[in-house]
């Protein structure tokens, strides 16, 4: 059987620079930084005292008080972004064949805040073993797709992907293949994360992974800059509605783009560091292009993983040159993490959305905060520094790489 084409018909975003798809896109184009001092807890004793938190998000705007207490923030974020995406897609939820609609969702950690708070409460109670009855279901990463299916009655394939910062991209690729192979007509996919917690900041600080630019948080996420000193932790969610092309056309859906392919690979090298020669990054992009049946010379834009870490930015830049050769200098390449920070397991979702919107609007969001060139990164690459750049975008590629050496890459094409 010929694999079915898969298209994107709905988007939802909940990010540090905008709590809806439209405000997120506006924030990207304007070069807005989502970094600011942490407000969720007192960060005084931490080496890093800032993050990219959501702004003005109140769960009681979306859930009643009793319901909100049952969900960790990462699950709340998932439900909110999916609600927007379903509305955007105008999916007839009440009449659709719900056996043919599935949910595959990514989360790198899941309910970290729930786990942290339950352990802190246990330690403070003189080891009296009293735990919240919702502790386990609030914590597990697969509760997000479970809750989405329960809310809407979707009875198709349903599970979570967990591959650190590649989780949402893994979810999208799995969703793509389930539709391609005929197991579903519609898939709700994406990712969410709520890692801005004491445990999250403290844990990444212990790894020396986070920027410590406490005196100027807004410029701390500075991919490809010589003075970069680590990533900025972010939070939020992104949701995509995928459909088979025939299903979308039959119901008259508006199509954003085609999800034409996905690639996966492993560094097989180190727990947290990228392969120094960018081997996994090279292979994942090659695999993605092959899966999409696209030549390297046809790609217009790459949204890089681009975390603002000393080793990662170099390895990924070198991998792009290996794969695309001279064409690497004619593309636009950017890192939207310079604005949103790093959303961990949700990163792939909001960055895929940025790629899709670049196709739709023929404009590439910028990479902000670049001041000093790094002699180890090829200066001939167009990193879209400073301001958004207009260009026709027919094909956009988005990279995500996770601790453990997990690499995932997705490719979107303009619908002709």
Given 52, 247, 275, 342, which residue is catalytic? Answer: 342
Respond yes or no: is residue 361 known to be catalytic.
Answer: no
3-state per-residue secondary structure call for the chain: CCCCCEEEEEEEEEECCECCHHHHHHHHHCCCCCCEECCCCCCCCCCCCEEECCCCCCHHHCCCHHHHHCCCHHHHHHHHHHHHHHHHHCCCCCCCCHHHEEEEEECCCCCHHHHHHHHHHHHHCCCCCCCCCCHHHHHCCCHHHHHHHHHHCCCCCEEEECECECHHHHHHHHHHHHHHCCCCCEEEEEEEEECCCHHHHHHHHHCCCECCCCCCHHHCCCCCECCCCCECEEEEEEEEEEEEHHHHHHCCCCCCEEEEEEEEEECCCCCCCCCCCCHHHHHHHHHHHHHHCCCHHHCCEEECCCCCCHHHHHHHHHHHHHHHHHHHHCCEEECCHHHHCECHHHHHHHHHHHHHHHHHHCEECCECCCCCECCCCCCCCCCCECCCEECCCCEEEEEEEECCCEEEEEEEECCC
Q: Assess whether 165 carries a catalytic annotation.
A: yes
Which residues carry out catalysis?
165, 305, 342
């Amino acid at each position: 059987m010929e694999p079915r084409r898969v298209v994107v018909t709905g988007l939802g975003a909940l990010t540090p620079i905008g709590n809806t798809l439209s405000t997120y896109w506006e924030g990207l184009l304007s070069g807005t930084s989502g970094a600011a001092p942490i407000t969720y807890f007192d960060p005084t004793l931490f080496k890093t005292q800032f993050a990219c938190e959501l702004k003005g998000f109140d769960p009681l705007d979306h859930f009643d008080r009793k319901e909100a207490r049952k969900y960790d923030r990462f699950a709340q974020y998932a439900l909110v972004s999916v609600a927007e995406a379903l509305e955007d897609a105008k999916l007839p939820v009440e009449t659709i064949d719900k056996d043919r609609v599935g949910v595959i969702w990514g989360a790198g950690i899941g309910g970290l805040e729930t786990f942290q708070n339950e352990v802190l409460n246990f330690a403070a109670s003189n080891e009296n073993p009293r735990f919240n009855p919702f502790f386990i279901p609030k914590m597990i990463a697969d509760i997000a797709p479970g809750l989405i299916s329960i809310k809407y009655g979707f009875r198709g394939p349903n599970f979570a992907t967990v591959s650190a910062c590649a989780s949402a991209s893994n979810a999208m690729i799995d969703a793509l293949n389930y539709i391609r192979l005929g197991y579903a007509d519609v898939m709700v996919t994406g990712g969410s994360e709520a890692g801005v917690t004491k445990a999250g900041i403290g844990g990444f600080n212990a790894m020396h992974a986070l920027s410590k630019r406490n005196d100027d948080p807004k410029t701390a996420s500075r991919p490809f800059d010589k003075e970069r000193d680590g990533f900025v932790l972010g939070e939020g969610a992104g949701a995509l509605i995928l459909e088979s092309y025939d299903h979308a056309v039959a119901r008259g859906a508006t199509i954003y783009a085609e999800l034409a392919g996905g690639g996966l690979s492993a560094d097989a090298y180190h727990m947290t560091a990228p392969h120094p020669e960018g081997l996994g990054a090279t292979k994942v992009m090659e695999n993605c292009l092959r899966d999409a049946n696209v030549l390297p010379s046809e790609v217009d834009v790459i949204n890089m993983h681009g975390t603002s870490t000393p080793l990662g930015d170099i390895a990924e830049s070198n991998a792009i040159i290996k794969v695309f050769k001279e064409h690497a200098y004619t593309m636009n390449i950017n890192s939207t993490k310079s604005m949103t920070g790093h959303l961990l397991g949700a990163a792939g979702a909001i960055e895929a959305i940025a790629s899709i919107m670049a196709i739709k609007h023929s404009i590439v969001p910028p990479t902000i905060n670049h001041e000093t060139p790094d002699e180890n990164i090829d200066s001939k690459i167009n990193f879209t520094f400073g301001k958004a750049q207009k260009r026709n975008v027919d094909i956009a590629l988005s990279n995500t790489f996770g601790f453990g050496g997990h690499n995932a890459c997705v490719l979107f094409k303009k619908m002709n």
